Structure 1
Amino acid sequence: MSDEPTPWTDFARDLGERMLRARTAKRMSQEQVAHAAGLATFTYRKLEKGESNPGTAANPRLRTLVALADVLDVPLSDLIPTPPRGLPPAR
Protein backbone atom coordinates (compact mmCIF):
# COMPACT_ATOMS: atom_id res chain seq x y z
CA MET A 1 0.00 0.00 0.00
CA SER A 2 1.25 3.47 -0.85
CA ASP A 3 2.04 5.95 1.91
CA GLU A 4 0.82 8.83 -0.25
CA PRO A 5 -2.33 10.56 0.99
CA THR A 6 -5.53 9.75 -0.85
CA PRO A 7 -8.79 11.68 -0.72
CA TRP A 8 -10.07 9.11 1.80
CA THR A 9 -7.02 9.41 4.11
CA ASP A 10 -7.28 13.20 3.96
CA PHE A 11 -10.99 12.96 4.80
CA ALA A 12 -10.28 10.64 7.77
CA ARG A 13 -7.53 12.95 9.07
CA ASP A 14 -9.87 15.94 8.82
CA LEU A 15 -12.48 13.99 10.80
CA GLY A 16 -9.85 13.27 13.46
CA GLU A 17 -8.83 16.93 13.62
CA ARG A 18 -12.46 17.93 14.10
CA MET A 19 -12.79 15.41 16.92
CA LEU A 20 -9.64 16.79 18.54
CA ARG A 21 -10.89 20.39 18.35
CA ALA A 22 -14.27 19.43 19.82
CA ARG A 23 -12.63 17.41 22.60
CA THR A 24 -10.24 20.24 23.43
CA ALA A 25 -13.12 22.72 23.54
CA LYS A 26 -14.87 20.43 26.07
CA ARG A 27 -11.63 20.10 28.05
CA MET A 28 -11.93 16.33 28.03
CA SER A 29 -9.19 13.73 27.80
CA GLN A 30 -9.17 11.07 25.13
CA GLU A 31 -9.91 8.54 27.84
CA GLN A 32 -12.94 10.48 29.07
CA VAL A 33 -14.42 10.80 25.58
CA ALA A 34 -13.76 7.16 24.76
CA HIS A 35 -15.34 5.92 28.00
CA ALA A 36 -18.40 8.18 27.63
CA ALA A 37 -18.91 7.06 24.02
CA GLY A 38 -18.49 3.37 24.84
CA LEU A 39 -15.19 3.01 22.99
CA ALA A 40 -11.81 1.66 23.95
CA THR A 41 -9.32 4.48 24.49
CA PHE A 42 -7.06 2.90 21.86
CA THR A 43 -9.88 3.02 19.32
CA TYR A 44 -10.63 6.66 20.05
CA ARG A 45 -6.95 7.60 19.76
CA LYS A 46 -6.75 5.94 16.36
CA LEU A 47 -9.87 7.76 15.16
CA GLU A 48 -8.40 11.08 16.25
CA LYS A 49 -5.31 10.23 14.18
CA GLY A 50 -7.53 9.41 11.21
CA GLU A 51 -6.54 5.77 10.97
CA SER A 52 -7.82 2.38 11.98
CA ASN A 53 -4.68 0.34 11.32
CA PRO A 54 -1.28 1.63 10.20
CA GLY A 55 -1.69 2.83 6.63
CA THR A 56 -5.49 2.39 6.67
CA ALA A 57 -7.83 5.35 6.86
CA ALA A 58 -10.37 5.42 9.69
CA ASN A 59 -13.84 4.29 8.75
CA PRO A 60 -15.95 4.55 11.92
CA ARG A 61 -19.49 3.25 12.14
CA LEU A 62 -22.35 5.71 12.11
CA ARG A 63 -23.28 4.63 15.64
CA THR A 64 -19.76 5.57 16.79
CA LEU A 65 -19.94 9.00 15.14
CA VAL A 66 -23.35 9.71 16.67
CA ALA A 67 -22.09 8.70 20.13
CA LEU A 68 -19.02 10.91 19.77
CA ALA A 69 -21.08 13.90 18.62
CA ASP A 70 -23.33 13.40 21.64
CA VAL A 71 -20.42 13.15 24.10
CA LEU A 72 -18.65 16.13 22.53
CA ASP A 73 -21.93 18.07 22.46
CA VAL A 74 -21.60 19.05 18.80
CA PRO A 75 -23.88 18.44 15.84
CA LEU A 76 -22.87 15.39 13.84
CA SER A 77 -22.47 17.66 10.82
CA ASP A 78 -19.69 19.53 12.68
CA LEU A 79 -17.64 16.34 12.99
CA ILE A 80 -18.00 15.06 9.45
CA PRO A 81 -15.99 16.91 6.80
CA THR A 82 -17.37 17.60 3.35
CA PRO A 83 -16.24 14.68 1.20
CA PRO A 84 -14.17 15.54 -1.84
CA ARG A 85 -15.72 14.94 -5.24
CA GLY A 86 -15.09 11.47 -6.56
CA LEU A 87 -14.21 10.03 -3.17
CA PRO A 88 -13.30 6.39 -3.80
CA PRO A 89 -14.95 3.73 -1.63
CA ALA A 90 -13.26 2.95 1.70
CA ARG A 91 -11.34 -0.30 1.80
Structure 2
Amino acid sequence: MAKRADRSWAAYAAELGHNLHRARAARGLSQERVAHLAGMAGFTYQKYEKGESRPGTPINLQLRSLVSLSQVLQVPVADLLPDFEPDLNREG
Protein backbone atom coordinates (compact mmCIF):
# COMPACT_ATOMS: atom_id res chain seq x y z
CA MET A 1 0.00 0.00 0.00
CA ALA A 2 1.42 3.36 -1.02
CA LYS A 3 1.95 6.09 1.55
CA ARG A 4 -0.60 8.88 1.48
CA ALA A 5 -0.26 12.31 3.01
CA ASP A 6 -3.95 12.49 3.98
CA ARG A 7 -5.36 9.31 5.45
CA SER A 8 -8.31 10.98 7.19
CA TRP A 9 -11.86 9.68 7.05
CA ALA A 10 -12.76 12.73 4.93
CA ALA A 11 -10.07 11.79 2.36
CA TYR A 12 -11.28 8.19 2.36
CA ALA A 13 -14.88 9.34 1.85
CA ALA A 14 -13.87 11.67 -1.01
CA GLU A 15 -12.02 8.82 -2.74
CA LEU A 16 -15.05 6.54 -2.37
CA GLY A 17 -17.18 9.24 -3.99
CA HIS A 18 -14.68 9.53 -6.84
CA ASN A 19 -14.76 5.75 -7.33
CA LEU A 20 -18.57 5.80 -7.48
CA HIS A 21 -18.46 8.56 -10.08
CA ARG A 22 -15.86 6.74 -12.18
CA ALA A 23 -17.82 3.45 -12.11
CA ARG A 24 -21.05 5.24 -13.03
CA ALA A 25 -19.42 7.09 -15.92
CA ALA A 26 -17.92 3.84 -17.21
CA ARG A 27 -21.43 2.34 -17.34
CA GLY A 28 -22.87 5.43 -19.02
CA LEU A 29 -25.55 5.88 -16.36
CA SER A 30 -26.97 9.08 -14.92
CA GLN A 31 -26.91 9.74 -11.20
CA GLU A 32 -30.70 9.53 -11.15
CA ARG A 33 -30.69 6.13 -12.87
CA VAL A 34 -28.12 4.69 -10.48
CA ALA A 35 -30.08 6.02 -7.50
CA HIS A 36 -33.34 4.57 -8.81
CA LEU A 37 -31.83 1.16 -9.53
CA ALA A 38 -30.15 1.12 -6.11
CA GLY A 39 -33.38 2.07 -4.34
CA MET A 40 -32.29 5.42 -2.99
CA ALA A 41 -33.12 9.05 -3.57
CA GLY A 42 -31.26 10.86 -6.32
CA PHE A 43 -30.11 13.54 -3.87
CA THR A 44 -28.66 10.86 -1.62
CA TYR A 45 -26.62 9.36 -4.44
CA GLN A 46 -25.44 12.80 -5.57
CA LYS A 47 -24.10 13.42 -2.07
CA TYR A 48 -22.36 10.04 -2.10
CA GLU A 49 -20.48 10.97 -5.27
CA LYS A 50 -19.35 14.12 -3.47
CA GLY A 51 -18.10 11.93 -0.63
CA GLU A 52 -20.74 13.32 1.73
CA SER A 53 -23.72 11.98 3.64
CA ARG A 54 -24.89 15.48 4.60
CA PRO A 55 -23.29 18.75 3.56
CA GLY A 56 -19.91 18.94 5.24
CA THR A 57 -20.14 15.42 6.69
CA PRO A 58 -18.04 12.62 5.14
CA ILE A 59 -19.95 9.72 3.60
CA ASN A 60 -20.75 6.79 5.86
CA LEU A 61 -22.62 4.30 3.66
CA GLN A 62 -24.61 1.43 5.09
CA LEU A 63 -23.32 -1.92 3.90
CA ARG A 64 -26.63 -2.63 2.14
CA SER A 65 -26.32 0.60 0.14
CA LEU A 66 -22.72 -0.14 -0.80
CA VAL A 67 -23.59 -3.64 -2.02
CA SER A 68 -26.60 -2.33 -3.93
CA LEU A 69 -24.47 0.29 -5.68
CA SER A 70 -21.82 -2.29 -6.57
CA GLN A 71 -24.52 -4.47 -8.15
CA VAL A 72 -26.06 -1.58 -10.09
CA LEU A 73 -22.64 -0.41 -11.29
CA GLN A 74 -21.57 -4.01 -11.98
CA VAL A 75 -18.30 -3.74 -10.10
CA PRO A 76 -17.08 -5.62 -7.02
CA VAL A 77 -17.48 -3.77 -3.73
CA ALA A 78 -13.69 -3.79 -3.41
CA ASP A 79 -13.41 -1.70 -6.59
CA LEU A 80 -15.48 1.06 -4.99
CA LEU A 81 -13.44 1.18 -1.80
CA PRO A 82 -10.30 3.36 -1.70
CA ASP A 83 -6.96 1.57 -1.86
CA PHE A 84 -5.88 2.82 1.56
CA GLU A 85 -7.11 2.43 5.10
CA PRO A 86 -8.21 5.63 6.81
CA ASP A 87 -6.82 6.77 10.11
CA LEU A 88 -10.08 6.81 12.04
CA ASN A 89 -8.50 9.01 14.69
CA ARG A 90 -8.23 11.86 12.15
CA GLU A 91 -11.40 13.74 11.30
CA GLY A 92 -10.39 16.10 8.54
For this structure pair, what is the TM-score category when the shorter chain's length is used for normalisation? 0.7 to 0.9
The 8 Å contact of residues 67 and 77 in structure 2, kept in 1 or not, is answered as yes
When residues 52 and 6 of structure 1 are mapped into structure 2, their CA distance, relative to the original with a 3 A threshold, is farther
Please show how residues 1-91 of structure 1 align to structure 2 within 5 Å.
7-84=8-85, 86-88=87-89
Query: TM-score, normalised to structure 1's length?
Result: 0.86
Q: Note the aligned Cα RMSD (angstroms).
A: 1.9
Identity of aligned residues (%): 50
Between the two structures, name the one with larger relative contact order (CA 8 Å, sep ≥ 6). Answer: 2
What's the CA shift for 1:6? 6.9
Which ranges in structure 1 are unaligned for 5 or more consecutive residues?
A: none
Residues paired across the two proteins, number: 86
Which ranges in structure 2 are unaligned for 5 or more consecutive residues?
A: 1-5
Q: What SS class does the counterpart of residue 16 from structure 1 fall into?
A: helix
